[in-house]
Amino acid sequence: MTFREFLNVLVARWRIIALTLLTVIAATAVQTMLTPALYTASAKIYLSATQPANANGQKVGAYAIGANDLATYVDVLNAPSVLGPLRQTLGLAPNAPVSVTADVSQTSNMMTITATDGDPETAARIANAAGPILAGVATEKFAPLLAANGQAVQSQTVAEAGVPGAPSSPNAKRNLMLGALLGLALGIGLALLAHSLDTKVRNEDDIKALSKRPILGDIPIVKSARDGLLSIESDPHGRHAEAIRRLRTNMLFVDVTTGGHSFVVTSSVPGEGKTTTTINLAMAMADAGSKVLLIDGDLRNPSVASTMGLDGSFGLTTLLLGQADPGDVIQRWRESTLHVLPAGPVPPNPSELLGSEPMETLFGKLSHDFDFILVDSPPVVPVIDAVLINKLTHGLIMVVAADRTRKRDLASAVHSLETVDAPVAGFALNMAPATSTAHRYGYYGQNRAVGMKLSRSERRSREQRARRAHSQA
For 355-374, what is each residue's pLDDT tens digit? Answer: 999 999 999 999 999 999 99
In a domain, 447, yes or no: no
260 is in which domain, residue-wise?
204-436
> What's the pLDDT score for residue 68?
85
DSSP characters for 128-170?
HHHHHHHHHHHHHHS-HHHHHTT--EEEEEEEPPPPPSS-SBS
Are 153 and 217 found together in one domain?
Answer: no
In a domain, 354, yes or no: yes
> What's the pLDDT score for residue 147?
73
Beta bridge partners of 376: 265, 296
- Structural domain count of the chain: 3
The DSSP code for 38 is B
Inform me whether the pLDDT recorded for 333 exceeds 50: yes
Residue 449 banded pLDDT, cuts 50, 70, 90 = very low
> What's the pLDDT score for residue 5?
76
pLDDT digits (tens, 9 = 90+) for 283-298: 999 998 889 999 999 9
Residue 225 banded pLDDT, cuts 50, 70, 90 = very low
Is 405:268 a contact under the CB 8 Å cutoff? yes
In a domain, 457, yes or no: no
In a domain, 441, yes or no: no
**CA-to-CA dists, residue 100 to 83, 87, 119, angstroms:** 9, 12, 14
Average pLDDT along the chain: 85
Segments of 306-370 assigned E as strands = 331-332, 338-341
Coil, strand or helix at 334: coil
Are 271 and 343 found together in one domain?
Answer: yes
Inform me whether the pLDDT recorded for 444 exceeds 60: no
For residue 351, which phi and psi values (nearest 5 degrees)?
-65, -40
Mean pLDDT along residues 308-316: 93
Are 177 and 291 found together in one domain?
Answer: no
In a domain, 95, yes or no: yes
Is 439:244 a contact under the CB 8 Å cutoff? no
Kindly report which listed range (2-6, 92-96, 167-171, 436-440) carries the lowest average pLDDT score. Answer: 436-440
Are 143 and 155 found together in one domain?
Answer: yes
d(CA 339, CA 157): 104
Residue 256 banded pLDDT, cuts 50, 70, 90 = low
Inform me whether the pLDDT recorded for 228 exceeds 90: no
Are 90 and 213 found together in one domain?
Answer: no
Inform me whether the pLDDT recorded for 324 exceeds 90: yes
In a domain, 446, yes or no: no
Give the domain CATH number at 92: 3.30.70.1130
Is 237:223 a contact under the CB 8 Å cutoff? no
> What's the pLDDT score for residue 440?
44
Are 30 and 48 found together in one domain?
Answer: no
Are 396 and 285 found together in one domain?
Answer: yes
Are 107 and 21 found together in one domain?
Answer: no
In a domain, 442, yes or no: no
**CA-to-CA dists, residue 460 to 95, 230, 405, 463, 467, angstroms:** 66, 20, 20, 5, 11
Mean pLDDT along residues 378-402: 92
Kindly report which listed range (121-135, 194-208, 459-473) carries the lowest average pLDDT score. Answer: 459-473
Q: Report yes or no on whether pTM surpasses 0.75.
A: no
Is 402:429 a contact under the CB 8 Å cutoff? yes
Are 181 and 151 found together in one domain?
Answer: no
d(CA 313, CA 117): 91
Is 151:64 a contact under the CB 8 Å cutoff? no
Coil, strand or helix at 320: helix
Nearest to 277 by CA among 292, 287, 265, 295: 265
Inform me whether the pLDDT recorded for 452 exceeds 60: no
Buried/exposed code over 44-57 (b: 16+ C-beta within 10 A; e: otherwise): bbebbbeeeeeeee
Are 143 and 185 found together in one domain?
Answer: no
Nearest to 63 by CA among 154, 141, 134, 147: 147
Beta bridge partners of 341: 295
Are 80 and 136 found together in one domain?
Answer: yes
pLDDT digits (tens, 9 = 90+) for 103-156: 998 888 899 999 999 999 999 999 999 999 998 888 888 777 777 777 888 889
The one-letter amino acid at 299: L
Give the domain CATH number at 257: 3.40.50.300
In a domain, 470, yes or no: no
CA torsion 267→272→273→275, rounded to 10°? 30
pLDDT digits (tens, 9 = 90+) for 55-96: 555 555 556 788 888 888 889 898 898 999 999 999 989 888
> What's the pLDDT score for residue 19?
96
> What's the pLDDT score for residue 453?
38
Are 213 and 287 found together in one domain?
Answer: yes
